[in-house]
Chains A and B, each alone.
Chain A
């Protein structure tokens, strides 16, 4: 398996523009997670899906952020309008079980490095 695939790997945009980040989870995994990582705040969970359904979006910073998972093999994280403080590395991860299961491991993608000017 190719692992979790994210695109683009790097994105530079201007404040106010719409940004769309994409993720393809590992085939067969039924959980998908979106994370954000910054030097100041470390790693933060934004939202997660189970069987394509958003379960917990309490980590989404504000209404400018939205995430969708139209099918089991694709998810998007959209920021509209983008702001400089959104600059961060955004990771997508997938797993085959809940965090409560000792067998469950989350597999992270390579991340998208976003810079909003």
Chain B
């Protein structure tokens, strides 16, 4: 059964500090992995999308890494800001050929940044 496990479930850090969120998956065959940021009361917003051949991708202060061999991904946030407080969701897509690949969602990591 395809699974996506995220850790930690929640994290509290001080403004300006760095942090790393983890995502382990068992989805196969693999197509791509996405990280979403979801602010409270809003829809998820895409941060990064990585395919099998990509090891790292950045979006501003967000840097995602992917190790397709160990089926692990991480999202690193540099110099955190109060606005980074949100839920971060890892989503892994199965390869569907010419069709849409089935998605498996992680439960998310809730990040709280304190001043």
Interface pair A50/B100, CB less than 8 Å apart: yes
A111 surroundings in chain B (CB, below 8 A): 41-43
Counting from the closest, the 8 A-B pairs by CB-CB distance are A108-B43, A99-B93, A99-B101, A43-B105, A105-B46, A42-B107, A102-B51, A99-B100
Binary CB contact string for chain A from 45 to 75 against chain B (1 if under 8 A, 0 otherwise): 1001010000110000000000000000000
**Known interface pairs A48-B100, A50-B100, A56-B100; A99-B42 also in contact (CB < 8 Å):** no
Query: 15 A-B pairs, CB-CB below 8 angstroms?
Result: A42-B105, A42-B108, A43-B91, A43-B108, A45-B103, A48-B100, A56-B100, A99-B32, A99-B100, A100-B97, A100-B99, A105-B49, A106-B46, A108-B44, A110-B43
Interface of A is mostly: strand
If the complex has contacts A48-B100, A102-B51, are A108 and B45 also in contact, measured as CB distance less than 8 A? yes
B95: Cβ under 8 A from any A Cβ: yes
**B45 proximity list for chain A (CB < 8 A):** 108
Kindly state the interface size class of chain A when it binds its partner.
20 to 34
Q: List residues of chain B with CB within 8 A of the CB of A109.
A: 43
